[in-house]
Amino acid sequence: MVSQDLLDILRCPACVREKEGLLELVKDTWLVCQDCDRKYPIVDDIPVMLIDEGDKWVSTTKADLPLPPPPMS
């Protein structure tokens, strides 16, 4: 599980320069940007904060995010 201290400092890499890029922990395995709705998986307790990875899930609703997140491709 990702610690609260880490969640407090992590920001969406796509939004951080123009907006706050705050992230919300969803289903204990996803970080969802509150500005752009990109979704970043947490794999083996490590957030995968790659914009390309977040782009893959932008149109997926929070309820439809897979558990556990699939391996990176």
Residue 72 lies in a domain: no
Rg (CA), the chain: 11
* Per-residue tens of pLDDT for the chain, all 73 residues: 788 899 899 999 999 989 999 999 999 999 999 999 999 999 988 999 999 999 999 999 999 999 999 887 6
Contact (CB, 8 A) for 58 and 37: yes
What CATH number does the domain containing 29 carry? 2.20.25
User: Residue 51's domain spans which residues?
Assistant: 4-61
Q: Which residues contact 36 (CB under 8 A, 6 or more apart)?
A: 12, 14, 15, 19, 21, 54, 58
The total domain count for the chain is 1
